[in-house]
Structure 1
Amino acid sequence: MPRVLVNMPSQHGGRPSGVALVAFRVIAGLLDRGQVTIVLRSPWTRDQLPEAIRERVEVVTVPRPRVMVLDVLRQAFAVPALCRAEAIDVVLNADPYGAPFGGRARVSVVHDLYFRTIPDSTGLREALTTNLIFRLVLGNSARVIAVSDTTRTSLERFYPALRGRTRTVPSAAMLRAGGATRPPEVATPSEVAMPSEVAPGSYVLAVGNATHNKNFATLARAVAALAPTHPELAIVHVGDDPDDTLAAGLAGAAVRLTRLSRIGDARLAALYRGAACLCVPSFAEGFCLPVLEAQELGCPVLCSDRSATPEIAGAGALTFDPADASALAAGLRRLLHEPGLRADLIARGHANARRYDWAETARRYEAVLLEALRETVRPTPTGEAADAHPAP
């Protein structure tokens, strides 16, 4: 049975980022299929792992690196040594900040290319070092998994040498209508109850850290423009916003803004169900799990018409130009005043979310891993014994 090293040193231990959550679901799915064994190399300790995989994987805990490019270079030596010691067949890098060498083959996952697709989101130094890492790690991978066709197209555009080696394998919703499926996060006591200042249907939900690509300032400007005629409309943001992007975008408008972070699944699911809509005004997304979570939980989706969001949302979303706050405001106004549109988006969202399934994701990961491994098998020439040593 092939042994797979899932290599994920870039993520914070005990803090379930999107990359880590996807990796854990893939690991669980691969183990359920029973065709491989898994060794997990990451900053996570065994007791921090989700119960679904905690006792089913071998764990190698490493510290999270401070300088990614230096750690990637270090992994070029450390991971091959680990692979020899653990008899690893395939290395699965959960993101490109992994190992360029090790095992008989390597497969690397790319979740986004923001440093390329929206270059003003990163500084020159970061872009140069990230590009170096991508070229080194992806260039030495037998296969590269992109989380969406949009991401795959961008990959092959900026790195033409990857054409023919890239495969699209989408994820699925972390939250399901039947219950939470994500490791719980720790909520502060003040976050245990639902926000008292908002009522169901009276708020727009934004999910994710307020990074440049999320473009939450446009959402704030759109809601501010509606404030005179819709004074009840609030914004609830789940995620970090260290630069107060949303507050700055409101520019003093009389709009209620509730900020939440590190909340549990039950509360997040309730926020989806109670929202007027989920709004995703992103300039760029590699996949965007909140879109599928909202659709799964009956929350209408209003999202950008750029990047991967229209691909993932399918027919279950109302789209707009993320550079145009007035277009977003018009979409919000329609959702608030057209009950039929809301009901239609919910129905189409449910249908779209059913296109994504974690069992299928695991099956496709397994196929890519085994495909990469098969490429390393050298056919035995006619007349040569299978265990023969090469001539000196």
Structure 2
Amino acid sequence: MHPVRVTLNGKFMGAHMTGVQRVAMEIVRELDRLITLDPALRDQIAFELVAPKSAAEAIAGLGLKTIPTRTAGRFGGNLWEQIDLPYLARGTRLLNLCNLGPALSLNAVTMLHDAQVHASPKSYSVPFRLWYRFIQPWLGHRSQQILSVSEFSKQELIHYGIAPAAKITAVHNGVDHVLRVRPDRSVLEHLGLSEGGYVIGLANTQSHKNIKVLLEAFADLPNLKLVLFGRADRNALQSLTDVPLGDNIIAAGPVSDEALSALMAQALCIAFPSRTEGFGLPPLEAMLLGCPAVVAPCGALPEVCGEAVLYADPDQPADWVRQISALSTDPTLRQTYVSLGRLKASHYSWARTARQLLELLAPAAVAAKAA
């Protein structure tokens, strides 16, 4: 029996790091680890990571041991994906992990992380909305199988007509990649932070991320700092609210994985007020590092976080003040959510995600191994 041949769409290797790119990288790494440890799997499924030529250096950084890689094609970005990739992946099954894939591919499995472009259109530019509103339903109906990252996301894909229910399988993300990172505590000194004296959150101006509620809440939390990491600077954050930003609002800018690990581990909590999320990596990453989470009861957050977090109304700054203050003044309460959070987040491993993918891509191999 010949192995199932699967081409991994490596366009993501040439993109800047986002949560979607993180998911793709970790899945590929874990698939590589599993087939390296189990030679029998190599007889059943053969992966190849194919990417644009510009991604050669990034691919080397993945450190793959068994999955072969190839950089080829005339183009980059979307043109590479739509024009070069169908030819490069001919005769194989194509695995797309980052919301997009070639419109002309028939033998594809595509991961659609969310339906945010429909649920929160104001978060995206007009060209982005138009492209996603065309390509996602096309892929949703043309791909052989659709992967979502949560049951919530699956229902959203069905609700907006992006893909039929029979095609969609929910596969949760992992978060244990944060345990590989060595924290860089120098970031605390650089930002003038003390352990437990600050709350961490996203510096993101997209409307569904709802950072406005945090900025307004921290006007009533003058003794705590709000450290927001990401590309939005202080001016961009100020544009979200009429409330003047106090000195306790810190726009940390983009930070390394090492710095972010230290920030999460030493924070009082992470505050995550998103109105919709396909999964929600940051709160679970923080929880696994011993940082309690206060989140909005929206999107997939209740599904993935369960009772291991505190919830606050996305429209009520006072509710965020109440929950964050409770963690600040009650060490026992905080320790309870440290323990609950660690336990809950530990259930989300990339090994589990990769095994679910193997069951979909090569069910015969998994069945033989189980027997």
TM-score by length of 2: 0.85
Residue of structure 2 aligned with 1:226, choices 221, 224, 230: 221
What are the residue-to-residue correspondences of 1:209-288 with 2, within 5 Å? 209-227=204-222, 232-242=223-233, 244-248=235-239, 249=241, 251-288=243-280
Change in Cα spacing, 1:121 to 1:199, as seen in structure 2 (3 Å) is: same
Q: Which residue of structure 2 aligns with residue 93 of structure 1?
A: 96
3-state SS of the aligned residue for 2:14? coil
Q: Which residue of structure 1 aligns with residue 124 of structure 2?
A: 122
For the aligned residue pairs, the C-alpha RMSD in angstroms reads 2.8
Shift of 1:160: 6.9
Q: Which protein is bigger by CA-based radius of gyration? A: 1
Shift of 1:336: 1.4
Q: Which residue of structure 1 aligns with residue 25 of structure 2?
A: 24
Post-superposition Cα deviations, 1:129-148, rounded to whole Å, max 9, x if no partner, equal 32111121221111100011
Q: In the alignment, is the contact (CA less than 8 A) between 2:201 and 2:226 conserved in 1?
A: yes
Letter in 2 for 1:286: G
Q: In the alignment, is the contact (CA less than 8 A) between 1:175 and 1:265 conserved in 2?
A: no
Q: In the alignment, is the contact (CA less than 8 A) between 2:6 and 2:47 conserved in 1?
A: yes
**Structure with the larger helix share:** 2
Q: Which residue of structure 1 aligns with residue 369 of structure 2?
A: none
For structure 2, list consecutive stretches of 5 or more residues without a partner in the other structure. Answer: 36-40, 366-371
Q: In the alignment, is the contact (CA less than 8 A) between 2:230 and 2:255 conserved in 1?
A: no
Q: Which residue of structure 2 aligns with residue 366 of structure 1?
A: 358
For structure 1, list consecutive stretches of 5 or more residues without a partner in the other structure. Answer: 374-392
3-state SS of the aligned residue for 1:45? helix
Count residues in correspondence. Answer: 350
3-state SS of the aligned residue for 1:19? helix
Post-superposition Cα deviations, 1:21-80, rounded to whole Å, max 9, x if no partner, equal 211211122223323333223345232233432774312256543xx5xx49x72x5433
Identity between Structure 1 and Structure 2 (%): 25
Q: Which residue of structure 1 aligns with residue 314 of structure 2?
A: 322
Q: In the alignment, is the contact (CA less than 8 A) between 1:172 and 1:292 conserved in 2?
A: no
What are the residue-to-residue correspondences of 1:1-392 with 2, within 5 Å? 1-9=3-11, 11=12, 13=14, 15-34=16-35, 35=41, 36-43=45-52, 45-49=55-59, 50-53=61-64, 56-60=67-71, 63-65=75-77, 71=79, 75=82, 78-84=84-90, 87=91, 89-102=92-105, 105-122=107-124, 126-159=128-161, 161-177=163-179, 179-180=180-181, 194-207=189-202, 209-227=204-222, 232-242=223-233, 244-248=235-239, 249=241, 251-370=243-362
Distance in 2, Cα, partners of 1:93 & 1:208: 28
Shift of 1:327: 1.4
Change in Cα spacing, 1:306 to 1:252, as seen in structure 2 (3 Å) is: same
3-state SS of the aligned residue for 1:316? coil
Distance in 1, Cα, partners of 2:189 & 2:13: 28
- Mean CA deviation greater in 321-330 or 168-177: 168-177
Change in Cα spacing, 1:242 to 1:198, as seen in structure 2 (3 Å) is: closer
